[in-house]
A and B are shown apart, each in its own frame.
Chain A
Amino acid sequence: MSDPRELYQAVILEHNKKPRNFGRLDPCTHHADGHNPLCGDQLQLTLNIEDGRIADIKFEGSGCAIDVASASLMTGAVKGKTLAEAEQMAGEFRALVRGELDAAAPHHLGRLTLFEGVRNLPVRVKCAVLPWATLSSALKGESQASTE
């Protein structure tokens, strides 16, 4: 990391302090619990999927700023998206934080690219990815996700 501020940008810090879509949908059509065994971060994701689209999504849990901000921004970004669109974004996000995303090619991440700084911190990639891994599990109908 050249400077911690490259990672801890204002938007990330703000979403960590005031996470959006925080809470639990009850009832929900889909849910999954995510767990990062290395650091103990955990996240519960609840979704309502209607007509193949994510009508609503919320998360709860405890984790670091990267994890919480990633979950907050993710829930906002995938709301209203089709399952296929959400899966595509999940794949693009994983590529982004691993430094494998072709920036020149079109992608659907929008301002989620501000997590790009994580690629310089391999040990923190799992924190950023945990919400997306949990989302993928929920969409597949699996109730557990782990970054291991």
Chain B
Amino acid sequence: MNTATAPLDTARIRADFPLLTSPFHGKRLVYLDSAVSGQMPAPVIERMGRYERLEHTNVHRGVSTLSQEATDRFEEAREKVRAFVNAPSAKEVIWTRGTTEALNLVAQSWGRANVQAGDEILLSAMEHHANIVPWQMLAQEKGATIKVIPMSDAGELVLDDLDRLITDRTKVLGLTHVSNALGTINPVKAIVAKARARGVVSVIDGAQAVPHLPVDVQDLGCDFYAFSGHKLSGPTGIGVLCGRRELLEAMPPWHGGGNMILSVTWEKTTYIGLPGKFEAGTPPIAAAIGLGAAIDYLKALGLDRIAAHDAQLLAYATEKLSAIPGLRILGTAKEKASVISFVLDGIHAHDVGSILDHEGIVVRAGHHCAQPVMDRMKVPATTRASFTYFNDASDVDALVAAVLKVKEIFG
């Protein structure tokens, strides 16, 4: 079999994750919560540890060899991210603390400079709070209005009225690539093309997309694309904002401080260019290097093989879970990532989550930081299982058995 298309050896992959091979409540841990936070494989943890033990100092500081080497490793990680999402240049790759900070950066820097009273901000009905609240804050400050692209009962965006939803006052479109609550993969390229044709700047939340799909920001044609390290088998505390160069260059800095200045006098401060203009202060260096190592790890597994594996698991889990009486899957879009949200008749998601936890199965139970999605689907909360490259059919079977136990306990 061709190694490029061979299925993933999940047993071998799992050996890279100490948590997955340690007992949990006396049972095998079944981690179905990578959409909340991915686990880091040993090579990533080791790479970060090596940096902290043997290579650490500050970056972009002084003339020491140590500082130069730390800077080189840090910038190599940026280049890995650039290649991973095919950004035109590493100057367009800004380090942030995560997706949330990246989206706030756009709302606060680009948004405050470009959105005015009476302008419209267009968001999709399936945004995470991270791509809602920063825009509400901006709208409140500026006297702008927020409009929403609706979605169907299946959890697909209804685009029939998109041409009318985009008006001459629309300044920005906030759109998630993959819904964290429902798993829907949105047709970002087509929507962004319509926005761009009308002069609307697009801000894509890619947090749930990058772990599952090959992403090419140039092909998508978006203006901003944000994602987090910790959903991508990397550490927390590091994230990325990819932005269109001319927009980033025209934007004012957001945070001020060291590292982002050309010169400072009492009279005037001038700023360095991209990407440093948006990176005030000491960055999370080990985390950035760790994210670079995570990308290496995923590329070694093969992004296409991961996507094929995820799709297969999604199909298997959908079939098995759908067969359980009283279980309803929320989010049945044709294009889905390996995320399944479900509700059980008469049983609250938190009770499901607690019993699953006892069975050694880690899922997310709650509103998934997407309360408008819960309101739209008329449920208070769901249980969400997310599948990744180290999960296999036995994990799905364990989930199904545990859900049957929940039903048995609740009678």
Contacts and interface: CB of A to CB of B under 8 A. Distances in A.
Interface of A: 1, 3-5, 7-8, 13, 17, 38-41, 62-67, 121, 123-124, 127
B358 A66 contact: no
B380 A65 contact: no
A3 B358 contact: yes
B272 interface: no
B241 to A, nearest CB: 28
A78 to B, nearest CB: 24
A7 B354 contact: yes
Interface string B327-368: 000000000000000000011111100110110000001110
Contact of B350 (A1, A13, A17, A127): A127
Contacts of A13: 409-411
B374 A40 contact: yes
A69 B209 CA distance: 39
Contact of A40 (B367, B409, B410): B367
A121 B411 contact: no
B381 interface: yes
Contacts of A40: 366-367, 371, 374, 380-381
Given A8-B410, A39-B366, A65 B381 contact: no
A7 B380 CA distance: 22
A123 B371 CA distance: 20
A64 B355 CA distance: 12
A38 B263 CA distance: 45
Identify the 7 closest CB pairs spanning chains A and B, nearest first: A64-B348, A64-B350, A4-B355, A65-B351, A62-B380, A4-B358, A40-B367
A66 B350 CA distance: 9
A123 B380 CA distance: 18
Contacts of A41: 350, 380
B366 A124 contact: no
28 contacts: A1-B357, A3-B358, A4-B354, A4-B355, A4-B409, A5-B409, A7-B354, A8-B351, A8-B409, A13-B409, A13-B410, A13-B411, A17-B346, A38-B366, A39-B350, A39-B366, A40-B371, A40-B374, A62-B380, A63-B380, A64-B348, A64-B349, A64-B350, A64-B351, A65-B347, A65-B351, A121-B354, A127-B350
Interface centre among B346, B348, B374 (most CB of A within 10 A): B348
A62 B350 CA distance: 12
A49 to B, nearest CB: 30
Given A40-B371, A40-B374, A1 B380 contact: no
B53 to A, nearest CB: 34
Contacts of A7: 354
Given A39-B367, A40-B380, A1 B354 contact: yes
A50 B358 CA distance: 45
A39 to B, nearest CB: 5
Interface in B375-411: 380-381, 409-411
Given A4-B409, A8-B410, 4 more contacts: A39-B365, A40-B367, A40-B374, A67-B348
A106 B351 CA distance: 31
A40 B381 CA distance: 8
Nearest to A36: B350
Given A17-B346, A40-B367, A66 B380 contact: no
A66 to B, nearest CB: 7
Interface string B113-133: 000000000000000000000
Contacts of B371: 40
A13 B409 CA distance: 9
Nearest to B405: A4
Contacts of B374: 40
Nearest to A7: B354
A65 B367 CA distance: 17
Nearest to B346: A17
A62 B381 CA distance: 10
Nearest to A38: B366
B365 to A, nearest CB: 8
Contacts of A67: 348
A124 B410 contact: no
Contacts of B354: 1, 4, 7, 121, 123-124
Contacts of B358: 1, 3-4
Contact of B348 (A1, A4, A65, A123): A65
A59 to B, nearest CB: 16
A50 to B, nearest CB: 34
Given A40-B374, A63-B348, A124-B350, A8 B380 contact: no
B351 A39 contact: no
A120 B227 CA distance: 36
Nearest to B379: A62
A1 B358 CA distance: 7
Given A39-B381, A40-B367, A8 B348 contact: no
B130 to A, nearest CB: 16
